Chain A
Amino acid sequence: MTGSPFLDSLRWLGDSAHWTGPGGIPLRTLEHLGYTALGVLVAALLAVPIGLYVGHSGRGKGVAVAAAGAARALPTLGLVTLFALLVGIGLTAPLLSFVILAIPSLLAGAYSAVESAEPATVDAARAQGMTEWQILTRVELPLGMPLLVGGFRGATVQVVATAMLAAYVGSGGLGRYIFQGLGSQNYPQMIAGSLLVIALALVLDLTLLLAQRLTAPPGVRAS
Protein backbone atom coordinates (compact mmCIF):
# COMPACT_ATOMS: atom_id res chain seq x y z
CA MET A 1 0.00 0.00 0.00
CA THR A 2 1.49 3.29 -1.07
CA GLY A 3 -1.20 5.56 0.32
CA SER A 4 -2.33 6.58 -3.15
CA PRO A 5 -5.39 4.56 -4.17
CA PHE A 6 -4.56 5.01 -7.84
CA LEU A 7 -1.05 3.61 -7.52
CA ASP A 8 -2.43 0.86 -5.32
CA SER A 9 -5.02 0.00 -7.93
CA LEU A 10 -2.29 -0.38 -10.55
CA ARG A 11 -0.43 -2.59 -8.11
CA TRP A 12 -3.65 -4.57 -7.60
CA LEU A 13 -3.91 -5.04 -11.36
CA GLY A 14 -0.30 -6.18 -11.52
CA ASP A 15 -0.73 -8.83 -8.82
CA SER A 16 -0.61 -12.20 -10.55
CA ALA A 17 -2.92 -13.68 -7.90
CA HIS A 18 -5.74 -11.61 -9.38
CA TRP A 19 -5.27 -13.06 -12.85
CA THR A 20 -6.16 -16.71 -12.18
CA GLY A 21 -9.02 -18.83 -10.92
CA PRO A 22 -12.80 -18.44 -11.00
CA GLY A 23 -12.67 -14.91 -9.59
CA GLY A 24 -9.72 -13.85 -11.75
CA ILE A 25 -9.60 -10.92 -14.13
CA PRO A 26 -9.67 -12.95 -17.40
CA LEU A 27 -12.83 -14.82 -16.43
CA ARG A 28 -14.57 -11.74 -15.03
CA THR A 29 -13.67 -9.81 -18.20
CA LEU A 30 -15.06 -12.58 -20.39
CA GLU A 31 -18.27 -12.64 -18.35
CA HIS A 32 -18.51 -8.88 -18.70
CA LEU A 33 -18.01 -9.05 -22.46
CA GLY A 34 -20.47 -11.94 -22.71
CA TYR A 35 -23.22 -10.00 -20.92
CA THR A 36 -22.54 -7.02 -23.16
CA ALA A 37 -22.62 -9.06 -26.37
CA LEU A 38 -25.78 -10.88 -25.34
CA GLY A 39 -27.55 -7.66 -24.36
CA VAL A 40 -26.64 -5.85 -27.57
CA LEU A 41 -27.45 -8.85 -29.80
CA VAL A 42 -30.89 -9.46 -28.30
CA ALA A 43 -31.61 -5.74 -28.54
CA ALA A 44 -30.43 -5.74 -32.17
CA LEU A 45 -32.78 -8.59 -33.07
CA LEU A 46 -35.66 -6.44 -31.86
CA ALA A 47 -34.57 -2.93 -32.76
CA VAL A 48 -32.80 -3.26 -36.11
CA PRO A 49 -35.69 -4.79 -38.10
CA ILE A 50 -38.09 -2.23 -36.66
CA GLY A 51 -35.64 0.59 -37.37
CA LEU A 52 -35.12 -0.56 -40.95
CA TYR A 53 -38.86 -0.77 -41.50
CA VAL A 54 -39.45 2.66 -40.02
CA GLY A 55 -36.60 4.18 -42.02
CA HIS A 56 -37.62 2.59 -45.28
CA SER A 57 -41.36 3.14 -45.08
CA GLY A 58 -41.36 6.34 -43.08
CA ARG A 59 -44.24 4.85 -41.09
CA GLY A 60 -44.33 4.99 -37.30
CA LYS A 61 -41.37 7.30 -37.06
CA GLY A 62 -42.97 9.48 -34.41
CA VAL A 63 -43.69 6.45 -32.25
CA ALA A 64 -40.19 5.04 -32.72
CA VAL A 65 -38.49 8.32 -31.83
CA ALA A 66 -40.70 8.81 -28.77
CA ALA A 67 -40.23 5.23 -27.59
CA ALA A 68 -36.46 5.42 -28.03
CA GLY A 69 -36.34 8.71 -26.16
CA ALA A 70 -38.45 7.39 -23.31
CA ALA A 71 -36.34 4.24 -23.02
CA ARG A 72 -33.22 6.36 -22.76
CA ALA A 73 -34.64 8.01 -19.67
CA LEU A 74 -35.12 4.76 -17.73
CA PRO A 75 -32.62 4.35 -14.89
CA THR A 76 -30.95 1.01 -15.37
CA LEU A 77 -30.34 0.25 -11.69
CA GLY A 78 -34.05 0.75 -11.08
CA LEU A 79 -34.88 -1.63 -13.93
CA VAL A 80 -32.46 -4.27 -12.66
CA THR A 81 -34.06 -4.11 -9.21
CA LEU A 82 -37.58 -4.16 -10.58
CA PHE A 83 -36.93 -7.13 -12.87
CA ALA A 84 -35.02 -9.00 -10.16
CA LEU A 85 -37.98 -8.64 -7.81
CA LEU A 86 -40.18 -10.10 -10.56
CA VAL A 87 -38.00 -12.88 -11.96
CA GLY A 88 -35.50 -13.46 -9.14
CA ILE A 89 -31.76 -12.97 -8.93
CA GLY A 90 -29.45 -14.20 -11.68
CA LEU A 91 -28.75 -13.06 -15.21
CA THR A 92 -32.27 -12.57 -16.58
CA ALA A 93 -33.02 -9.32 -14.77
CA PRO A 94 -29.81 -7.47 -15.70
CA LEU A 95 -29.95 -8.83 -19.25
CA LEU A 96 -33.48 -7.49 -19.77
CA SER A 97 -32.28 -4.12 -18.50
CA PHE A 98 -29.27 -4.12 -20.85
CA VAL A 99 -31.57 -4.90 -23.79
CA ILE A 100 -33.74 -1.93 -22.90
CA LEU A 101 -30.63 0.21 -22.52
CA ALA A 102 -29.30 -0.82 -25.95
CA ILE A 103 -32.53 -0.47 -27.95
CA PRO A 104 -32.65 3.35 -28.36
CA SER A 105 -29.21 3.65 -29.96
CA LEU A 106 -29.78 0.66 -32.22
CA LEU A 107 -33.23 1.82 -33.27
CA ALA A 108 -32.02 5.34 -34.01
CA GLY A 109 -28.98 3.98 -35.85
CA ALA A 110 -31.12 1.71 -38.01
CA TYR A 111 -33.75 4.21 -39.07
CA SER A 112 -31.35 7.05 -39.62
CA ALA A 113 -29.11 4.74 -41.67
CA VAL A 114 -31.96 3.97 -44.05
CA GLU A 115 -33.19 7.56 -44.11
CA SER A 116 -29.77 8.91 -44.92
CA ALA A 117 -29.92 7.62 -48.51
CA GLU A 118 -30.61 10.44 -50.99
CA PRO A 119 -34.28 10.32 -52.06
CA ALA A 120 -33.15 10.82 -55.65
CA THR A 121 -30.94 7.74 -55.44
CA VAL A 122 -33.77 5.71 -53.98
CA ASP A 123 -36.12 6.93 -56.71
CA ALA A 124 -33.58 6.02 -59.35
CA ALA A 125 -33.31 2.51 -57.92
CA ARG A 126 -37.08 2.19 -57.91
CA ALA A 127 -37.26 3.46 -61.50
CA GLN A 128 -34.83 0.77 -62.55
CA GLY A 129 -37.31 -1.80 -61.32
CA MET A 130 -35.69 -2.80 -58.04
CA THR A 131 -38.05 -4.34 -55.51
CA GLU A 132 -38.46 -2.60 -52.17
CA TRP A 133 -36.35 -5.34 -50.54
CA GLN A 134 -33.61 -4.79 -53.10
CA ILE A 135 -33.73 -1.03 -52.53
CA LEU A 136 -33.33 -1.60 -48.79
CA THR A 137 -30.55 -4.18 -48.96
CA ARG A 138 -28.61 -2.95 -52.01
CA VAL A 139 -29.03 0.81 -51.86
CA GLU A 140 -30.16 2.18 -48.54
CA LEU A 141 -28.29 -0.16 -46.21
CA PRO A 142 -24.88 -0.04 -47.91
CA LEU A 143 -25.11 3.76 -48.03
CA GLY A 144 -26.18 4.06 -44.42
CA MET A 145 -24.00 1.28 -43.01
CA PRO A 146 -21.73 3.65 -41.01
CA LEU A 147 -24.80 5.02 -39.23
CA LEU A 148 -26.08 1.52 -38.44
CA VAL A 149 -22.65 0.54 -37.08
CA GLY A 150 -22.71 3.81 -35.17
CA GLY A 151 -25.90 2.62 -33.48
CA PHE A 152 -24.13 -0.57 -32.44
CA ARG A 153 -21.21 1.51 -31.21
CA GLY A 154 -23.38 3.67 -28.98
CA ALA A 155 -25.32 0.72 -27.66
CA THR A 156 -22.22 -1.35 -26.98
CA VAL A 157 -20.39 1.37 -25.09
CA GLN A 158 -23.45 2.09 -22.96
CA VAL A 159 -24.04 -1.57 -22.13
CA VAL A 160 -20.39 -2.39 -21.42
CA ALA A 161 -20.23 0.56 -19.03
CA THR A 162 -23.43 -0.56 -17.30
CA ALA A 163 -22.85 -4.32 -17.28
CA MET A 164 -21.30 -4.02 -13.82
CA LEU A 165 -24.89 -4.01 -12.54
CA ALA A 166 -25.11 -7.74 -13.29
CA ALA A 167 -23.10 -8.23 -10.11
CA TYR A 168 -25.77 -6.36 -8.17
CA VAL A 169 -28.11 -9.34 -8.37
CA GLY A 170 -25.87 -12.37 -8.10
CA SER A 171 -24.18 -12.58 -11.50
CA GLY A 172 -20.52 -12.05 -12.33
CA GLY A 173 -18.58 -9.64 -14.51
CA LEU A 174 -16.22 -6.86 -13.54
CA GLY A 175 -18.88 -5.33 -11.30
CA ARG A 176 -17.89 -7.90 -8.66
CA TYR A 177 -14.62 -6.08 -8.05
CA ILE A 178 -16.36 -2.73 -7.88
CA PHE A 179 -19.15 -3.71 -5.49
CA GLN A 180 -16.93 -5.76 -3.22
CA GLY A 181 -14.29 -3.03 -3.16
CA LEU A 182 -16.90 -0.43 -2.28
CA GLY A 183 -18.44 -2.55 0.45
CA SER A 184 -15.19 -3.51 2.11
CA GLN A 185 -13.47 -0.11 1.68
CA ASN A 186 -10.94 -1.82 -0.60
CA TYR A 187 -10.66 1.21 -2.85
CA PRO A 188 -7.66 -0.02 -4.88
CA GLN A 189 -9.75 -3.04 -5.93
CA MET A 190 -12.74 -0.84 -6.69
CA ILE A 191 -10.69 1.52 -8.84
CA ALA A 192 -8.97 -1.40 -10.57
CA GLY A 193 -12.40 -2.79 -11.50
CA SER A 194 -13.44 0.59 -12.83
CA LEU A 195 -10.23 0.92 -14.85
CA LEU A 196 -10.88 -2.47 -16.43
CA VAL A 197 -14.41 -1.40 -17.43
CA ILE A 198 -13.05 1.87 -18.85
CA ALA A 199 -10.40 0.00 -20.83
CA LEU A 200 -13.00 -2.39 -22.25
CA ALA A 201 -15.28 0.48 -23.22
CA LEU A 202 -12.42 2.31 -24.99
CA VAL A 203 -11.29 -0.81 -26.87
CA LEU A 204 -14.85 -1.57 -28.02
CA ASP A 205 -15.49 2.07 -28.94
CA LEU A 206 -12.34 2.31 -31.05
CA THR A 207 -12.95 -1.06 -32.70
CA LEU A 208 -16.45 -0.07 -33.73
CA LEU A 209 -15.24 3.37 -34.83
CA LEU A 210 -12.84 1.57 -37.13
CA ALA A 211 -15.70 -0.63 -38.37
CA GLN A 212 -17.72 2.52 -39.04
CA ARG A 213 -14.91 3.89 -41.21
CA LEU A 214 -14.44 0.62 -43.06
CA THR A 215 -18.12 0.16 -43.86
CA ALA A 216 -18.51 3.57 -45.44
CA PRO A 217 -18.98 3.08 -49.19
CA PRO A 218 -16.20 4.73 -51.25
CA GLY A 219 -18.51 7.26 -52.87
CA VAL A 220 -19.78 8.79 -49.61
CA ARG A 221 -16.62 8.54 -47.56
CA ALA A 222 -15.75 12.15 -48.17
CA SER A 223 -18.90 13.38 -46.46
Chain B
Amino acid sequence: MSIETPELAYHERWERIKARFGSWGLTTYGILAFAFLYLPIVILILFSFNESRSVSKWTGFSLRWYGEMLKDDKIMISMWNSIFLAVVSTAIATVLGTLAALGLERYSFRGKTAVDSMFYLPVIIPDIAMAIMLLLFFNMSGIGFTPWKVSLFGVKLAVPYSVIIGHVAFNISFVAIVVRARLAQMDRTLEEAAQDLYANTWQTFRRVTLPMLMPGILGGALLAFTLSLDDFVITFFTSGAGFNTLPVRVFGMIKKGVTPKINALSTLMLAVSLSLVVISILLRTRSGDEESVQMGF
Protein backbone atom coordinates (compact mmCIF):
# COMPACT_ATOMS: atom_id res chain seq x y z
CA MET B 1 0.00 0.00 0.00
CA SER B 2 2.90 2.34 0.59
CA ILE B 3 4.01 4.78 -2.05
CA GLU B 4 7.41 3.70 -3.36
CA THR B 5 9.89 6.50 -2.90
CA PRO B 6 13.54 5.77 -2.08
CA GLU B 7 13.21 7.55 1.23
CA LEU B 8 10.23 5.47 2.31
CA ALA B 9 11.84 2.23 1.19
CA TYR B 10 14.83 3.12 3.31
CA HIS B 11 12.59 3.99 6.22
CA GLU B 12 10.73 0.72 5.91
CA ARG B 13 13.91 -1.34 5.76
CA TRP B 14 15.21 0.46 8.81
CA GLU B 15 11.98 -0.25 10.65
CA ARG B 16 12.21 -3.93 9.72
CA ILE B 17 15.78 -4.17 11.00
CA LYS B 18 14.72 -2.46 14.19
CA ALA B 19 11.80 -4.84 14.60
CA ARG B 20 14.02 -7.90 14.14
CA PHE B 21 16.57 -6.66 16.70
CA GLY B 22 13.73 -5.64 18.95
CA SER B 23 12.21 -9.11 18.98
CA TRP B 24 15.63 -10.69 19.41
CA GLY B 25 16.31 -8.42 22.36
CA LEU B 26 12.90 -9.14 23.81
CA THR B 27 13.44 -12.91 23.63
CA THR B 28 16.84 -12.55 25.31
CA TYR B 29 15.22 -10.48 28.01
CA GLY B 30 12.47 -13.07 28.47
CA ILE B 31 15.04 -15.83 28.94
CA LEU B 32 17.00 -13.72 31.45
CA ALA B 33 13.86 -12.85 33.38
CA PHE B 34 12.84 -16.48 33.69
CA ALA B 35 16.40 -17.35 34.72
CA PHE B 36 16.09 -14.77 37.50
CA LEU B 37 12.83 -16.38 38.63
CA TYR B 38 14.09 -19.94 38.52
CA LEU B 39 17.79 -19.88 39.47
CA PRO B 40 17.31 -19.33 43.21
CA ILE B 41 14.80 -22.19 43.34
CA VAL B 42 17.05 -24.52 41.33
CA ILE B 43 20.02 -23.74 43.59
CA LEU B 44 17.83 -24.33 46.63
CA ILE B 45 16.84 -27.76 45.35
CA LEU B 46 20.42 -28.59 44.37
CA PHE B 47 21.77 -27.97 47.86
CA SER B 48 19.10 -30.14 49.43
CA PHE B 49 21.20 -33.00 48.04
CA ASN B 50 24.46 -31.69 49.49
CA GLU B 51 26.48 -34.06 51.61
CA SER B 52 27.84 -31.54 54.09
CA ARG B 53 26.05 -29.04 56.31
CA SER B 54 26.77 -26.18 53.93
CA VAL B 55 24.16 -24.65 51.65
CA SER B 56 26.74 -22.76 49.58
CA LYS B 57 29.68 -25.17 49.08
CA TRP B 58 28.93 -28.30 47.11
CA THR B 59 30.69 -31.33 48.60
CA GLY B 60 28.92 -34.27 47.04
CA PHE B 61 25.57 -35.90 46.47
CA SER B 62 23.66 -37.37 49.36
CA LEU B 63 20.09 -38.04 50.49
CA ARG B 64 21.12 -37.55 54.11
CA TRP B 65 19.01 -34.44 54.67
CA TYR B 66 15.86 -36.05 53.33
CA GLY B 67 16.42 -38.86 55.79
CA GLU B 68 16.88 -36.40 58.63
CA MET B 69 13.73 -34.60 57.59
CA LEU B 70 11.65 -37.79 57.65
CA LYS B 71 13.08 -38.74 61.04
CA ASP B 72 12.15 -35.36 62.53
CA ASP B 73 8.86 -35.91 64.37
CA LYS B 74 8.21 -32.20 64.72
CA ILE B 75 8.35 -31.75 60.95
CA MET B 76 6.05 -34.69 60.36
CA ILE B 77 3.49 -33.40 62.88
CA SER B 78 3.65 -29.93 61.29
CA MET B 79 3.06 -31.51 57.91
CA TRP B 80 -0.12 -33.26 59.08
CA ASN B 81 -1.22 -30.07 60.79
CA SER B 82 -0.74 -28.15 57.54
CA ILE B 83 -2.74 -30.66 55.52
CA PHE B 84 -5.55 -30.90 58.08
CA LEU B 85 -5.80 -27.13 58.35
CA ALA B 86 -5.81 -26.67 54.57
CA VAL B 87 -8.49 -29.34 54.01
CA VAL B 88 -10.84 -28.06 56.71
CA SER B 89 -10.47 -24.35 55.95
CA THR B 90 -10.77 -24.96 52.19
CA ALA B 91 -13.96 -26.97 52.62
CA ILE B 92 -15.61 -24.25 54.72
CA ALA B 93 -14.32 -21.36 52.60
CA THR B 94 -15.42 -23.01 49.36
CA VAL B 95 -19.01 -23.45 50.49
CA LEU B 96 -19.25 -19.96 52.00
CA GLY B 97 -17.38 -18.31 49.13
CA THR B 98 -19.62 -19.94 46.52
CA LEU B 99 -22.77 -18.84 48.37
CA ALA B 100 -21.39 -15.31 48.55
CA ALA B 101 -20.49 -15.33 44.84
CA LEU B 102 -24.02 -16.38 43.87
CA GLY B 103 -25.55 -13.74 46.09
CA LEU B 104 -23.29 -10.97 44.88
CA GLU B 105 -23.17 -11.79 41.17
CA ARG B 106 -26.78 -12.73 40.57
CA TYR B 107 -28.69 -10.21 42.62
CA SER B 108 -28.82 -6.52 43.21
CA PHE B 109 -30.11 -5.23 46.51
CA ARG B 110 -29.83 -2.29 48.84
CA GLY B 111 -26.41 -1.94 50.44
CA LYS B 112 -24.74 -4.17 47.86
CA THR B 113 -21.73 -1.87 47.43
CA ALA B 114 -20.97 -2.13 51.14
CA VAL B 115 -21.28 -5.94 51.17
CA ASP B 116 -19.21 -6.09 47.98
CA SER B 117 -16.38 -4.08 49.51
CA MET B 118 -16.44 -6.22 52.64
CA PHE B 119 -15.80 -9.28 50.51
CA TYR B 120 -12.85 -7.62 48.76
CA LEU B 121 -11.18 -6.27 51.89
CA PRO B 122 -9.55 -9.49 53.13
CA VAL B 123 -7.81 -9.83 49.76
CA ILE B 124 -6.14 -6.45 49.81
CA ILE B 125 -5.42 -6.03 53.51
CA PRO B 126 -1.75 -6.83 54.33
CA ASP B 127 -1.50 -10.15 56.11
CA ILE B 128 0.35 -8.69 59.09
CA ALA B 129 -2.61 -6.37 59.75
CA MET B 130 -5.11 -9.20 59.44
CA ALA B 131 -2.96 -11.37 61.70
CA ILE B 132 -2.86 -8.91 64.58
CA MET B 133 -6.56 -8.08 64.11
CA LEU B 134 -7.42 -11.72 64.64
CA LEU B 135 -4.95 -12.06 67.49
CA LEU B 136 -6.63 -9.21 69.36
CA PHE B 137 -10.09 -10.51 68.51
CA PHE B 138 -9.50 -14.01 69.84
CA ASN B 139 -7.88 -12.60 72.91
CA MET B 140 -10.48 -9.95 73.68
CA SER B 141 -13.53 -12.11 72.96
CA GLY B 142 -12.19 -14.82 75.25
CA ILE B 143 -12.39 -17.37 72.42
CA GLY B 144 -8.68 -18.01 72.87
CA PHE B 145 -6.21 -20.02 70.82
CA THR B 146 -5.83 -23.41 72.47
CA PRO B 147 -6.65 -26.11 69.91
CA TRP B 148 -9.57 -28.39 70.75
CA LYS B 149 -8.52 -31.91 71.53
CA VAL B 150 -10.84 -34.18 69.61
CA SER B 151 -10.81 -37.95 69.41
CA LEU B 152 -12.22 -39.17 66.14
CA PHE B 153 -12.37 -42.92 65.45
CA GLY B 154 -9.57 -43.39 67.95
CA VAL B 155 -7.39 -40.79 66.24
CA LYS B 156 -6.45 -37.90 68.47
CA LEU B 157 -6.72 -34.58 66.67
CA ALA B 158 -5.85 -31.07 67.70
CA VAL B 159 -8.34 -28.75 66.02
CA PRO B 160 -6.81 -25.26 65.85
CA TYR B 161 -10.12 -23.44 65.49
CA SER B 162 -8.54 -19.98 65.73
CA VAL B 163 -6.24 -20.68 62.77
CA ILE B 164 -9.07 -22.31 60.80
CA ILE B 165 -11.23 -19.23 61.32
CA GLY B 166 -8.36 -16.99 60.20
CA HIS B 167 -7.79 -18.99 57.04
CA VAL B 168 -11.49 -19.15 56.20
CA ALA B 169 -11.71 -15.38 56.71
CA PHE B 170 -9.24 -14.64 53.92
CA ASN B 171 -10.14 -17.60 51.72
CA ILE B 172 -13.88 -16.82 51.48
CA SER B 173 -12.96 -13.73 49.48
CA PHE B 174 -10.58 -15.52 47.14
CA VAL B 175 -13.10 -18.29 46.43
CA ALA B 176 -15.85 -15.69 45.91
CA ILE B 177 -13.73 -13.79 43.37
CA VAL B 178 -12.88 -16.90 41.34
CA VAL B 179 -16.46 -18.22 41.36
CA ARG B 180 -17.85 -14.80 40.47
CA ALA B 181 -15.55 -14.62 37.45
CA ARG B 182 -16.92 -17.94 36.27
CA LEU B 183 -20.52 -16.86 36.93
CA ALA B 184 -20.00 -13.66 34.97
CA GLN B 185 -18.81 -15.64 31.92
CA MET B 186 -21.59 -18.19 32.13
CA ASP B 187 -24.23 -18.36 29.47
CA ARG B 188 -27.55 -17.74 31.20
CA THR B 189 -29.73 -18.99 28.35
CA LEU B 190 -29.38 -22.59 29.59
CA GLU B 191 -30.81 -21.63 32.95
CA GLU B 192 -33.61 -19.74 31.28
CA ALA B 193 -34.30 -22.77 29.10
CA ALA B 194 -34.52 -24.97 32.19
CA GLN B 195 -36.97 -22.56 33.80
CA ASP B 196 -39.03 -22.46 30.63
CA LEU B 197 -39.23 -26.24 30.90
CA TYR B 198 -40.78 -25.83 34.36
CA ALA B 199 -37.70 -26.65 36.42
CA ASN B 200 -38.05 -24.91 39.76
CA THR B 201 -35.33 -22.70 41.21
CA TRP B 202 -33.67 -25.53 43.11
CA GLN B 203 -33.78 -27.95 40.14
CA THR B 204 -32.32 -25.29 37.87
CA PHE B 205 -29.55 -24.65 40.33
CA ARG B 206 -28.82 -28.32 41.00
CA ARG B 207 -28.96 -29.52 37.40
CA VAL B 208 -27.76 -26.53 35.38
CA THR B 209 -26.05 -23.80 37.38
CA LEU B 210 -24.00 -25.98 39.70
CA PRO B 211 -22.54 -28.31 37.04
CA MET B 212 -21.63 -25.32 34.88
CA LEU B 213 -20.13 -23.55 37.86
CA MET B 214 -18.08 -26.55 38.98
CA PRO B 215 -14.78 -25.59 37.27
CA GLY B 216 -14.96 -22.20 38.99
CA ILE B 217 -15.71 -23.77 42.36
CA LEU B 218 -12.87 -26.28 41.98
CA GLY B 219 -10.53 -23.50 40.86
CA GLY B 220 -11.48 -21.44 43.88
CA ALA B 221 -11.05 -24.42 46.20
CA LEU B 222 -7.62 -25.14 44.77
CA LEU B 223 -6.58 -21.52 45.23
CA ALA B 224 -7.85 -21.58 48.81
CA PHE B 225 -6.01 -24.84 49.49
CA THR B 226 -2.74 -23.44 48.15
CA LEU B 227 -3.10 -20.17 50.06
CA SER B 228 -3.86 -22.05 53.25
CA LEU B 229 -0.86 -24.36 52.82
CA ASP B 230 1.38 -21.37 52.09
CA ASP B 231 0.22 -19.01 54.78
CA PHE B 232 2.77 -18.17 57.40
CA VAL B 233 1.93 -14.78 58.91
CA ILE B 234 -1.71 -15.34 59.88
CA THR B 235 -1.01 -18.86 61.18
CA PHE B 236 1.96 -17.60 63.16
CA PHE B 237 -0.11 -15.01 65.00
CA THR B 238 -3.35 -16.95 65.50
CA SER B 239 -2.04 -20.34 66.57
CA GLY B 240 -1.79 -21.07 70.25
CA ALA B 241 1.25 -22.63 71.82
CA GLY B 242 2.14 -26.02 70.42
CA PHE B 243 0.43 -25.78 67.06
CA ASN B 244 2.83 -25.52 64.13
CA THR B 245 2.28 -25.75 60.43
CA LEU B 246 5.10 -26.41 57.97
CA PRO B 247 5.73 -22.73 57.14
CA VAL B 248 5.78 -21.84 60.85
CA ARG B 249 8.22 -24.70 61.46
CA VAL B 250 10.39 -23.58 58.53
CA PHE B 251 10.50 -20.02 59.87
CA GLY B 252 11.61 -21.33 63.26
CA MET B 253 14.29 -23.48 61.63
CA ILE B 254 15.61 -20.57 59.57
CA LYS B 255 15.87 -18.45 62.71
CA LYS B 256 17.88 -21.20 64.44
CA GLY B 257 20.36 -21.79 61.64
CA VAL B 258 20.54 -22.73 58.02
CA THR B 259 21.02 -26.40 57.10
CA PRO B 260 20.26 -28.40 53.95
CA LYS B 261 17.43 -29.97 55.95
CA ILE B 262 15.47 -26.76 55.33
CA ASN B 263 16.33 -27.12 51.63
CA ALA B 264 15.02 -30.70 51.66
CA LEU B 265 11.80 -29.62 53.34
CA SER B 266 11.48 -26.71 50.90
CA THR B 267 11.90 -29.07 47.98
CA LEU B 268 9.11 -31.25 49.34
CA MET B 269 6.79 -28.26 49.74
CA LEU B 270 7.73 -27.07 46.27
CA ALA B 271 6.77 -30.43 44.81
CA VAL B 272 3.35 -30.16 46.49
CA SER B 273 2.79 -26.62 45.15
CA LEU B 274 3.89 -27.69 41.70
CA SER B 275 1.42 -30.57 41.59
CA LEU B 276 -1.35 -28.25 42.73
CA VAL B 277 -0.54 -25.83 39.89
CA VAL B 278 -0.55 -28.71 37.41
CA ILE B 279 -3.94 -29.87 38.69
CA SER B 280 -5.36 -26.35 38.35
CA ILE B 281 -4.04 -26.03 34.79
CA LEU B 282 -5.49 -29.41 33.86
CA LEU B 283 -8.81 -28.37 35.37
CA ARG B 284 -8.84 -25.17 33.40
CA THR B 285 -7.98 -26.72 30.05
CA ARG B 286 -10.50 -29.53 30.58
CA SER B 287 -13.27 -27.16 31.52
CA GLY B 288 -12.41 -25.14 28.42
CA ASP B 289 -13.57 -27.78 25.97
CA GLU B 290 -16.37 -28.87 28.24
CA GLU B 291 -18.38 -25.72 27.79
CA SER B 292 -21.39 -27.72 26.80
CA VAL B 293 -22.77 -29.30 29.94
CA GLN B 294 -24.59 -32.56 29.96
CA MET B 295 -27.88 -32.05 31.66
CA GLY B 296 -29.21 -35.05 33.43
CA PHE B 297 -32.90 -34.28 33.46
Q: Do chains A and B stick together as partners?
A: no
Chain A residues close to B by CB (< 8 Å): none
Chain B residues close to A by CB (< 8 Å): none
